[in-house]
Every structure is written in C-alpha cells, then in structure tokens.
Amino acid sequence: MGGVRPWDAWLVGGAAGVAGLLALHSAVPNGFGRLGSLLETFLPWLGVAVPPLGCLAVLRRSVAGLLACLVPVAVWLWMFGGLWFSSPPESYDLTVVQHNVADDNADPAGTARALRATRADLVAVQELTTAGRPVFEDVLGASHPHRAVHGTVGLWSAHPLSGVRPVDIRPEGFPGSWRRGLRATVSAPGGKVAVYVVHLPSVRLGPTGFASAARDESAALLGARIADDPAGRLLVVGDLNGTVRDRGLGPLTSRLDAPASGFAFSWPASLPVARIDQVLGRGAEVTRVSALGSTGSDHLPVLARVRLR
C-alpha cells in the first residue's frame, strides 16, 4: 500500500491552514503584538493564497490537494461573498461621502470639487487643516450650505443641521487640542438622523507588532457614547483606522451595522488593500459602499447609500 504523497500532505495542510485562519480568525490571540487585529485588517486577502495552491495541485496532479482547495474557497464565499455578489436595493434616502482629505494634500480645492461632484447629501472629512477649511467652505458652500466643524473633522450637508456638538474621544494622555469628533442631527427628507463624524487615532506596524492601543481606547469611548445616544436613526462616518472585522473596534462596531454590499478598499490610495474609512448605521441601513477615484490624499473617498428605516 502506498503512503500519503508529500505534496498531497503539503497542499491539504496549506488549504486547511487558510480555511482555518479565515473561519477561526477570532481565535488568533491579540495579547502579543495584536496579531489578531493585524490578521483581521487584511482578512479577505487570505483568499489570494488559494489560486497558487490550486495551480500547484494541478501541476502535481494532486486530486486531494485540489479538492482541499475547495474548502477555503467555500469559507471565503461564506464570509465575503455577500459583499461581492449581493444586489443592494435600488431605493435609498441619503448618500454620504466619507474622506480623509490628508493634512498634506497639495490640492484641497481639487479634492473639495471632487467631493462636490459626487452630489452626496452629506460630505464628511477628516484631517481638515486651518488653511484648508475656507477652501472647502468656498467650494461646498453653495451645494452644501449647512456645515459643522470641530478641530480637524467636518460635515457639510445639503440639509439643515441642528444640535451640533463636539464628541470627546481622546485616549488617556492625549492633549486637549486633539479634537476629532462631532455629532449633528441632519433633517433629511426621510426624517432626522444623528451623524457622528470621527477620526480615530492612527495605528502603526513595527517590531513590537500592530500598535493600536490608542485607537482601541478611542473606539471604546465612542462606542459608549453611541450606546447612550437615544437617536433612533444614527450614522457613524469617519476614518476609523481599522476594518469592521478588527476586534479592536468591537466596542464600537458591535453596536452598528456594516454595509451589506461592496468591499470599497480605501487605503492606501496608491494600492488599496483595506477599507478603514467607514459609514456604519443603527436604525439607518447602509446598503452599499463604493470607493471613488484618487483626490491627492493617501485615502480614497468612500460613497455610501443609506436607507432610513
């Protein structure tokens, strides 16, 4: 009797490993270097490992290896197929464009014009500078006459705003000049909706792993605010510096619904591999998100359609 061929074992093991990481990503520990969060940031890209494994299985005439490759394919489709294949409803009540415009953007006027051209009802921006603010006010003023700005985040709206106030999401030790959150109520044609515009702290990948402690703390603070907010319809729009599957954002994202359709990778603009710019809802359904063209920022704008339940 012949034993198991080495190539069969390697291919089956590789396919099983990919499927396991996809399905059991939450079991990857976050204690050292936040490896779990790092994996979850790029989770859909694990599927890229399957075609090479399949090609090797064909070259090596490994039936077992080829069959094993079907397992990660099935798991990937179960987890992400809806984002790719689902058909969102045609009707919607609001369009929202979210964009980190970059504080070193050499063409803020061009960026503002690109956002205006989307004809979105709401335009939310982060990394708005003192010099850039009047540029955005000038470009967006006619189409979006209602605005709210706090620190480096801003909201321009085609519909009236009320109840504008800052939202303090500063992690411990951050200075008072760090102002990256606001809340406003938008009087949209379909009804009022509370909108949070936020920018969570950046993360860094270094020798000690995925440095996201400050971001995670800020997400927890924002999640607590959302939990206490009595609004029946609510949107969180902003640069969260993380994907919706990143467990570090769990205290926030567990209270909100993510879009049902569209990958909309938004960062980095030169080769987008993750959507860290988010439009999330509670009592307001974000039916689809899509990434738009480059504006000179290191992020791509994200356009979302919203139904007010």
Domain boundaries, the chain: 6-85, 94-308
Would you put residue 149 in left (φ > 0), alpha (ψ -120 to 50) or beta? beta
Quick one: pLDDT at residue 1?
44
Calpha distance 25→286 (Å, rounded)? 25
Choose among 147, 134, 101: nearest CA to 294.
101
Calpha distance 45→29 (Å, rounded)? 19
Q: Which helix (H) or strand (E) holds 206?
A: strand 204-206
Class of domain 94-308 (CATH, top level): alpha beta
Q: What is the pLDDT along the chain (309 residues), one digit of tens a residue?
A: 455 688 889 999 999 999 999 999 999 998 888 999 999 999 999 999 999 999 999 998 999 999 999 999 999 999 998 887 777 788 899 999 999 999 999 999 999 999 999 999 999 999 999 999 999 999 999 999 999 999 999 999 999 999 999 999 999 999 999 999 999 999 999 999 999 999 999 998 877 778 899 999 999 999 999 999 999 999 999 999 999 999 999 999 999 999 988 899 999 999 999 999 999 999 999 999 999 999 999 999 999 999 997
Q: Are 112 and 136 in contact (CB under 8 A)?
A: yes
DSSP 8-state symbol, 91: -
Q: What is the pTM of this model?
A: 0.94
